[in-house]
Structure 1
Amino acid sequence: MSTRVSRIITTAMPAHGHTGPVLAVSADLAARGHEVVFLGGARFAGAAERAGVRFVALPPEADFDDRDLDASFPGRAALTPGPERLAFDARHIFTDPIPHQYRALLALLEDFPAKAVLADAFVQGVLALPLSRPRAERPALIGLGVTPAMLPSVDTAPFGLALTPLPGEEGRERNRRLREEAERRVEPLQRYAEKVFDQLGVRLPEGPRGLAPVTVPDHYLQLTVPGFEYPRSDAPETFRLIGALPSAAGTAAGTAAGTAGGTVGGPGGDIVSGEQPLPDWWARLSEGRPVVVVTQGTLANDDLGALLAPAVTALADRDVLVVAATGRPDGPRELTGLLGGRLPENTVAAGYVPFEQLLPLTDVLVSNGGYGGVQNALRHGVPLVVAGASEDKPEVAARVRWAGVGIDLRTGRPEPGAVDRAVGEVLEDGRYRERARALREELERYRPFDAIAELVESL
């Protein structure tokens, strides 16, 4: 318990993968005796209550339902996935809400004068706070990196290209060339963002996109470890890697906020509470065959034909037990239909699974590359096969490849043969499990909840 109670505002984009980690941190801070208010999406009000924190809703102009982005943002569905849709998302999902996020924060500060604001790095409206007033006249701003680090560097290719670091001068020259090209491409978006901040009477600092969310806050905490993030020789002093959130913290954060819970959804957890009974097929995990778990998480699972069906088909003749975690109550039925009405003998399908109990028994995780879920697997020393194409998933997959903890299939819709070969290689080549276990040991040395609490209490 902290000897000095602080008032803290936490906030996240109204999306599952952003809200879960921030609510887990909020719950931990509240359990230490701090007064915490969470500013977030309306659908997460119940999760905030279970986390033991007060909830304040973002205004409708800054809120949306991430389970159906096409419905939340008219016109999005007509765009082909790729650069055009990414540009749409950058403008309308992440940039347009900035003024509404900032005004909501100012209104909340009037009612709840906080000592610190801890914000998901994608809530860029909070940047207007330090850009508009000196430190003595505002709370400290702490950015929280809940996706792979987007910080530009001379040592890395631009975020989004899913390119691993190339050492030496050759790598720096490659990065410089790609960065110049990327800056030309995103210049219209940069100008658009500058105009949005101009509405608030503040000016963004000069520099490439992705720099301000890290350099403007007083502190920036990235939820990973050096073994799973590219080194940057030019990173600012405020940029710190503090470890991935524990998957089972054993506190209110675990069951209420999902990322720490990891109980029933994707391997990174769902925002649900309550103990889940073990499924009827659990005894099959003791058959002596390697266990291969396949998941598309709890959100990017509207089309189980992307990864689950090809993976189950690929592994049907292998001497393994396949656990297909569909992340939806109707998922097993849909998956069975995609496979011609019958699952292979070596496969069980479930809507939700207790990942915290399943991962210690898992030999390989086949995943679409959710950041929290991949690191949760690594917490248990489980090597991976990753097939991700949306959001930040290609960057996560690239880090899996770079860290040597698995195979990146470099597509979101792999052919069955590619899945079969990759799973076979990971099972047979002990280097992947060795590296995964090394990452597990590294992750165990970090205490992210303590690091955040100590920072808040030292302000």
Structure 2
Amino acid sequence: MPVIELGRGLLSRGADVTVLTGRRYEDAVLRSGLTFAPLPAEVDYDDSDLEAWLPGRGAIKGLAAMRREMIGMFARVLPGQWRAVQALLAAHRFDGIIGDATFTGLAPYSSRPAAERLPVIGVSPIPVVMTSVDTGPFGLVLAPAKTAVGRLRNRALTSFLLRGPLRPIGIAVDEALAEVGEPPTTVSFYDHPYVSYDRLFQLSIAELEYPRRDLPDTVRFVGPMRHRHRVSTGVPGWWADLDSGRPVVHVSQGTMDNRDLGRVIVPTLRALADEDVLVVAATGGRPVDDVVRAMGGRLPANARVEEYVPYDELLPRCAVFVTNGGFGGVQRAIAAGLPLVVAGATEDKPEIAARVQWAGCGIDLRTGTPTPEQVRGAVRRVLADDRTRRGSEFLRDRMNALPDPVDVIWDTLAELTTAGSSRGTGQQEPTAMRRPIGPGEGWDSGLA
């Protein structure tokens, strides 16, 4: 969705934008005025139902789970994704490519010398995963090291994982590259997006990320998309209850990891049922009746539950956000200066939860299935001590100080495309490009 939001922004500045993605997002792409290009069926998995793509994934834990998911979600799909990219490049004329950093199908193209391809920009909607002497390997949820001994630990752990438990991921990536006639990669799967794109834009703020002295200077933190194009869906009939004078606690499991609402939403409703707060829960599209049944057929008197709520109107009125740690939701909370209580266990959520606590804007419960007692204690601490709110407000101010990320990416496209036009490309000749000189005037361009 951040890529679609970016596409909207580029479209408004005069670009023609084609989005290569799964069928799940076809309507969102078309509603945004963008051109939709479907991924081949064999690599078009539904990210809201990963169990169907990786059966039994919930039964595997730790490094084994990480290994299986990385192979299944990123290595296994590389050949099909790359063939789809090739087909688009052969059928249409583009001036540049923007790739989600987790879209591995661009690896064969972005690894080519710059003179032999179009400009390639990466955007990353997840935390930084690049290996570093200053941090432990992504997935181990280790705080950054501040000493020489800690940096030695990081080097040793990274080497051990890449040569040992996570080696099958690298093998799977090389096998996928061999399938499409490409040589083995020379960098780890952790590092590839950060060293292969002409620029990589991190859709977050530096203050929410562990410092890395070895992060390439082609990586830039530009903050999250600003959601200026969202259409209001109206407010529920109980909206006036937000003005009752009680602190408002919002709880959500996002729109992906929400098949089991008993992981975070139900424990939060139970934890706060007798507290002097108003609890607003959003199921992310799951039926509200699922929550009612899980609660024994009746919601607490202080609970309001909807499938979706308008965040722009809700979050500034909240005192705490209880979440499973999706990066988009976390950053929406920070943009509102809202402190967090995070209970994350899947995908990158444990690492996000750890960063929230490290950055001083919330509490990491260190579990994806908290008890009501854990949630209640954390919410009480946040309400009683405003340090986490001050931390979130500081990050909000840092976020607001950044220029619009669409402007930054637009300007970079102009720079790279102009340079590419002057040097030529090995595959295609870009169409003529011109900088906009007024509202509504843009490039004669295509962006994949």
Q: Which residue is equivalent to 1:165?
A: 144
Specify which of 85, 100, 103 is matched with residue 123 of structure 1: 103
- Greater RCO, CA 8 A, separation 6+: 2
Which whole-Å CA distance do the structure 1 matches of 2:8 and 2:190 have between them? Answer: 28
Which whole-Å CA distance do the structure 2 matches of 1:434 and 1:71 have between them? Answer: 42
| Alignment partner of 1:375 is 2:331 | yes
Q: Which residue is equivalent to 1:26?
A: 7
Q: Which residue is equivalent to 1:93?
A: 73
Check the 8 A contact 2:259/2:286 in 1, yes or no.
no
Q: Which residue is equivalent to 1:391?
A: 347
Which whole-Å CA distance do the structure 2 matches of 1:111 and 1:242 have between them? Answer: 32
| Alignment partner of 1:112 is 2:77 | no
Check the 8 A contact 2:134/2:154 in 1, yes or no.
yes
1:93 deviates by 1.9
Q: Which residue is equivalent to 1:177?
A: 156
| AA in 1 matched with 2:329 | G
| AA in 2 matched with 1:56 | A
Check the 8 A contact 1:76/1:85 in 2, yes or no.
no
1:166 deviates by 2.5
The residue matched to 1:167 in structure 2 has which SS?
Answer: coil
Check the 8 A contact 2:124/2:202 in 1, yes or no.
yes
Which whole-Å CA distance do the structure 2 matches of 1:70 and 1:148 have between them? Answer: 23
Distance 1:72 1:307, change over 3 A: same
Q: Which residue is equivalent to 1:43?
A: 24
Which whole-Å CA distance do the structure 1 matches of 2:75 and 2:101 have between them? Answer: 12
Q: Which residue is equivalent to 1:284?
A: 241
Check the 8 A contact 1:127/1:217 in 2, yes or no.
no
| AA in 2 matched with 1:244 | P
TM-score by length of 1: 0.87
Which whole-Å CA distance do the structure 2 matches of 1:79 and 1:346 have between them? Answer: 35
| AA in 1 matched with 2:366 | R
The residue matched to 1:348 in structure 2 has which SS?
Answer: strand
Check the 8 A contact 1:223/1:245 in 2, yes or no.
yes
**Coordinate RMSD, CA, aligned:** 1.5
Which whole-Å CA distance do the structure 2 matches of 1:430 and 1:290 have between them? Answer: 13
Q: Which residue is equivalent to 1:234?
A: 214
Which whole-Å CA distance do the structure 1 matches of 2:390 and 2:23 have between them? Answer: 43
Which whole-Å CA distance do the structure 2 matches of 1:391 and 1:220 have between them? Answer: 21
Which whole-Å CA distance do the structure 2 matches of 1:301 and 1:197 have between them? Answer: 34
The residue matched to 2:48 in structure 1 has which SS?
Answer: helix
Runs (5+) with no aligned partner, structure 2: 417-448
Tell me how many residue pairs correspond in the alignment: 414
Runs (5+) with no aligned partner, structure 1: 1-19, 256-273
Specify which of 243, 246, 255 is matched with residue 298 of structure 1: 255
| Within-5 A mapping of 1:58-457 | 58-73=39-54, 75-77=55-57, 79-131=59-111, 133-183=112-162, 184-246=164-226, 248-249=227-228, 254-255=229-230, 274-328=231-285, 330-331=287-288, 333-446=289-402, 447-457=404-414
Which whole-Å CA distance do the structure 1 matches of 2:214 and 2:184 have between them? Answer: 20
Cα-to-partner distance string for 1:238-289 (whole Å, 9 max, x where unaligned): 111111111x31xxxx23xxxxxxxxxxxxxxxxxx4312111111100101
Q: Which residue is equivalent to 1:267?
A: none
Cα-to-partner distance string for 1:192-246 (whole Å, 9 max, x where unaligned): 2112112233234433331112111111111111111111101112111111111
Which whole-Å CA distance do the structure 2 matches of 1:82 and 1:169 have between them? Answer: 27
Check the 8 A contact 2:21/2:36 in 1, yes or no.
yes
Check the 8 A contact 2:67/2:168 in 1, yes or no.
no
1:329 deviates by 5.0
Which whole-Å CA distance do the structure 1 matches of 2:278 and 2:324 have between them? Answer: 19
Q: Which residue is equivalent to 1:56?
A: 37
| AA in 2 matched with 1:165 | P
Q: Which residue is equivalent to 1:269?
A: none
Check the 8 A contact 2:258/2:286 in 1, yes or no.
no
| AA in 2 matched with 1:220 | L
Percentage of identical aligned residues: 41
Check the 8 A contact 1:204/1:212 in 2, yes or no.
no
1:342 deviates by 1.8
The residue matched to 2:20 in structure 1 has which SS?
Answer: strand
Check the 8 A contact 1:130/1:217 in 2, yes or no.
yes
Cα-to-partner distance string for 1:87-113 (whole Å, 9 max, x where unaligned): 222222211111111111111111222
1:79 deviates by 4.3
Cα-to-partner distance string for 1:306-329 (whole Å, 9 max, x where unaligned): 111111111112111111212235
Distance 1:211 1:204, change over 3 A: farther
The residue matched to 1:46 in structure 2 has which SS?
Answer: helix
Check the 8 A contact 1:76/1:88 in 2, yes or no.
no
Cα-to-partner distance string for 1:123-147 (whole Å, 9 max, x where unaligned): 112110133x432231111111111
